[in-house]
Structure 1
Amino acid sequence: MTPSRRETLQWMMAAAALPLARWTPPAMAAGHPPPFTVVVDWPAALPPPPPAQGYGRDPDLMAPKVTWPLILSKAQRATVDLLGDLILPADERSPGAGTLGVGAFVDEWISAPYPTQRKDREQVLGGLIWLEAQSRALHGAAFAAITPAQRAGLLDALTVTAPVAMMAKPVAFMDTLRHLFVLGFYSLPEGKADMGFIGDQPTPGDYPGPSPEALTHFAAILAALGLAVS
């Protein structure tokens, strides 16, 4: 699946409105060493982002205009989709995130000229460059070309809570990418269906009023605030 720029921009804006907090790994005394002996250096420098403008103060959300160039190469987009299907794989309820085109979402997100997106750009772009170099150093081939077991070994090393210093940036890259996968996936109809979200539903006949459970919850909140139920 390859969404259009307009679709991915709408997807990105919907995701930006979701209250999904980033996961912060707990502090631990000792670092977790990687399972391999060779660790390539994190990229010393990244190419500067191309000049770009945002979509304005009052965008038309139903017909957004794409105002910035995309920065990921075709190979990098394919790697992101591959990682999407590995991290959020297909199951009986939905396709994998990569199959749904999460690479297009990530590309749109990190290409946008806003502070949060620019920060994520540094993590994701640097991480993709590092991942390719690390894959070639260990296995002599690009990440997309190595075996599933070799990919799993690399991903396992990037999902620890307390990495050693040489792995801190690669692990932070995967944390950022995983966050973006979840953000994008659950902004899509397939993701909403996966978690059972049904949205607003019409109520036939006269409105019956709040349920007893809702009233009990509301009363508890008022009590916690020191307010009386009227």
Structure 2
Amino acid sequence: MSEIDRRAVIGWSALVAGVVGAGWGVTHLPSGAPSGRKPTGYGKDPPLVDPKRHVWPRLLDDAIRRNLVALIDIVVPGIDGSPPGSALGLVDFFDEWLGAPYPDMVADRALIMPMLAGIDGLGALAPGARAARVAGLGSGGTAKAFARFCVLAAAAYHTTPQGIAALGYVGNEARQSFDGPPPAVLAHFDTELAKLGFAP
């Protein structure tokens, strides 16, 4: 399993943090804390010129990474020609996210790592047995961890160029012209406005 550049994954993780509302590189004061109070920190942010030397160590060993491939590709499979999550680097994303020292990531590590430790051998199972085992993660003691894992996996997947394309999102693209809404859309609005008493 090849790893992608750590600088790229760290930047990607910061983007996902914005999507899921986590604090990447942020320490939060408790609610109602005096403005002059200093929170307990985690030290200085690492210099990212050479992330291999200065960034926190990655936590996932080869066995967990192999099982993650199987888990990720069930949670975010390739559909309609889009690649599965493991092909887009989600294993590296989770390795970075779960190893980061920031408060939200530390909480996710405590929640998710025990679940990952409990799926040993997942990648070696036949597809049907693998899917059944993953389905079982959604109930019982792993339900909360699995739900959080799915949120992070979906956010990570759909912040990649391929994931954005799979959504059919067409924003953030320069256009040469804009022809306005289609006539059917305008007609629908006219109908709904008329119901509210507004003349088209």
Match of 1:94 in 2: 82
CA distance in 2, matches of 1:193, 1:2: 23
Distance 1:200 1:150, change over 3 A: closer
Q: RMSD of aligned C-alpha atoms?
A: 3.2
Residue 156 in structure 1 maps to residue 135 in structure 2: yes
* Post-superposition CA distance 1:132-157 (Å, at most 9, x none): 2xxxxxxxxx2222222221221222
SS of 1:118's equivalent in the other structure is: helix
Match of 2:123 in 1: 144
* Alignment equivalent of 1:118, drawn from 101, 106, 125: 106
Distance 1:143 1:4, change over 3 A: same
Query: Following TM superposition, by how much is the alpha carbon of 1:174 offset from its aligned partner in structure 2, in angstroms?
Result: 1.3
SS of 2:85's equivalent in the other structure is: coil
Q: Is there any run of 5+ residues in structure 2 with no aligned partner, and where? A: 23-41, 190-200
Conserved in 2, the CA contact under 8 Å of 1:54 and 1:114?
no
* Post-superposition CA distance 1:35-93 (Å, at most 9, x none): xxxxxxxxxxxxxxxxx75636xx88xx6846211111111122112211111111223
* Post-superposition CA distance 1:93-142 (Å, at most 9, x none): 3100112121100111111101110111012211111222xxxxxxxxx2
CA distance in 2, matches of 1:17, 1:64: 24
Larger relative contact order (Cα-Cα within 8 Å, sequence gap ≥ 6): 1
CA distance in 2, matches of 1:189, 1:203: 18
* Alignment equivalent of 1:55, drawn from 45, 62, 66: 45
Corresponding letter in the other structure for 1:5: R
Conserved in 2, the CA contact under 8 Å of 1:97 and 1:185?
yes
Residue 179 in structure 1 maps to residue 151 in structure 2: yes
Distance 1:53 1:204, change over 3 A: same
CA distance in 2, matches of 1:124, 1:19: 16
CA distance in 1, matches of 2:44, 2:90: 21
SS of 1:104's equivalent in the other structure is: helix
Conserved in 2, the CA contact under 8 Å of 1:88 and 1:96?
yes
Query: Following TM superposition, by how much is the alpha carbon of 1:204 offset from its aligned partner in structure 2, in angstroms?
Result: 4.1
Sequence identity percentage: 26
Corresponding letter in the other structure for 1:171: A
CA distance in 2, matches of 1:68, 1:53: 11
Residue 12 in structure 1 maps to residue 17 in structure 2: no
* Alignment equivalent of 1:190, drawn from 162, 166, 172: 162
Q: Which runs of 4+ in 1 moved over 4 A?
A: 63-66, 207-210
1:76-87 matched pairs, under 5 angstroms = 76-87=64-75
Match of 2:3 in 1: 2
SS of 2:19's equivalent in the other structure is: coil
SS of 1:105's equivalent in the other structure is: helix
Distance 1:55 1:209, change over 3 A: farther
Q: Is there any run of 5+ residues in structure 1 with no aligned partner, and where? A: 22-51, 133-141, 217-230
Conserved in 1, the CA contact under 8 Å of 2:82 and 2:166?
yes
* Post-superposition CA distance 1:181-220 (Å, at most 9, x none): 1011011001111111233333547x9999x98xx9xxxx
Distance 1:64 1:116, change over 3 A: farther
